[in-house]
Amino acid sequence: MGKRPPKYSAAALVKHGLTRGDWPRMWRRPEMRDSYDVVIIGAGLHGLATAYYLAENHGITNVAVIDKGYVGGGGSGRNTAIVRSNYLTPEGVAFYDRSLSLYKTMANDLNLNIMFSERGHLTLAHTDSALRTMHWRAEVNKLQGIDSSVIDPQEVKEQAPSLDVSENTRYPILGALHHPPGGIVRHDAVVWGYARGADHHGTHIIQETEVLDINVEGGSGPGGKGAGGKVTGVRTTRGDISAPIVVNCTAGWASLISNMAGVPLPITTHPLQAAVTEPCKVFLPTVVVSGSLHVYVSQTDRGELVFGASVDPVGTYRVNGTLEFTEELAGHVLELMPGISKMRLLRQWSGLCDMTPDYSPVMGFTPVEGYLLDVGWGTYGFKAGPVAGETLAETIATGRTADLISSFGIERFTHGDLVGEKGAAAVGH
């Protein structure tokens, strides 16, 4: 266990300003051991949150988080940083609401400013059926104590004056689901906070180390893998690790890792593109989402507009930007906010999404003993990160699936018991 890192505080800032001493590293680069109690594949938000809660809540610290790249280099650093809990299914609402409450206290819990801006969240309805879904979501939300209601176009205009709520547009705004507790968070800070917290507890964060295979014994598939088998460890580019528990937190690459254990997944990998404009004076006070127009937009504290969209229609592991995306995005954003037509895009990027058929995640135990999943995070992995880590850590520590994720097991696909969340998790339907 390392020395406790100095607390970040105003006093520490003054002291460092006066002494000009170096800030200590937020996490170490440890030598990899040849055995751990738990190996987590993927050092993104989910993997690091799981490691943090394993240590913080359950005292399990002989843990390695392994990543082929660097901390937070996948979806954790590429998402559009929106958090909310106004989902459609009761399972989804309870789950994401717990995540939101963890986000609210996170800056204190992790002693790092994650810049949570609770600015409210509008999901626009442009069609009667979309408006009906908003009413449905609002009622499900209210029943579970979530602040969520349907508002009319005039109230939308009051929330976000830059939106065109006239009837002369191609897709007039008929109303919106208003969710005041939603907002945006500095996504990198969340990852760094969990990495720092986990590292402080003694967890090993091992970067630039690729997992080449998962060792499984006694399974019914080829090479002893698959159902009925038992995990014995992983083979990496830096040698073998033996471990009784291996957790897959690899999002877009989830299928590749899971196939190594002989556990096929109901997942296809699609890129999701996002873009950001040059900064300008703050004019957009809330997060605005439009399912019909395939776009969500928020303004950062620096004044840049951040845009996200629906996933690219063709599944691929390639993360390049496309002209189709830029054209479509610009057209749709100007439909919503004609006033920003002179703004220029600063850059665009893309991340990989592990899409499931029902837009709910796949979490928990698998037919291979000791191999656990935390995948299928599609386009909603960031907002779920804290609760996914907390519930998965509980599942690992107690050997029993946590209540909040009991509907998200992989067996739901065999039983035909899907958790249809598309109405609240997707844009572009």
Enumerate binding residues for another protein (CB under 8 A): 253, 255-256, 259, 264-269, 313-318, 322-324, 357, 413-414, 416
Are 416 and 357 in contact, with CB atoms under 8 Å apart?
no
Question: Which residue do the tokens 């609401």 mark?
Answer: 97
Tell the smallest beta-carbon distance from residue 404 to another protein (Å): 23
Q: With respect to another protein, which residue has the nearer C-beta, 278 or 417?
A: 417
Kindly state the helix (H) or strand (E) to which residue 210 belongs, with its residue range.
none
Residue type, 59: G
| Ramachandran angles phi, psi of 336, nearest 5° | -80, -45
Tell the smallest beta-carbon distance from residue 41 to another protein (Å): 15
CA 322, 326, 328, 332 torsion-angle sign: positive
Q: With respect to another protein, which residue has the nearer C-beta, 59 or 222?
A: 222
Tell the smallest beta-carbon distance from residue 396 to another protein (Å): 25
4 phi-psi bin (left φ>0, alpha ψ -120 to 50, beta other): beta
Q: With respect to another protein, which residue has the nearer C-beta, 57 or 259?
A: 259
Question: Which residue do the tokens 């592991």 mark?
Answer: 317
d(CA 394, CA 210): 26
Q: With respect to another protein, which residue has the nearer C-beta, 70 or 317?
A: 317
Tell the smallest beta-carbon distance from residue 256 to another protein (Å): 6
Q: With respect to another protein, which residue has the nearer C-beta, 339 or 357?
A: 357
**How many alpha carbons fall within 13 Å on the CB side of residue 50?**
34
Tell the smallest beta-carbon distance from residue 16 to another protein (Å): 44
| Ramachandran angles phi, psi of 220, nearest 5° | -85, -10
CA 354, 224, 407, 184 torsion-angle sign: negative
Q: With respect to another protein, which residue has the nearer C-beta, 301 or 324?
A: 324
Q: With respect to another protein, which residue has the nearer C-beta, 67 or 390?
A: 67
- How would you list the strands of the sheet with 149-151, edge to edge? 149-151, 175-179, 121-125, 287-290, 295-299, 305-311, 268-277, 345-355
Q: With respect to another protein, which residue has the nearer C-beta, 319 or 340?
A: 319
Are 110 and 7 in contact, with CB atoms under 8 Å apart?
no
d(CA 28, CA 9): 21
d(CA 163, CA 169): 11
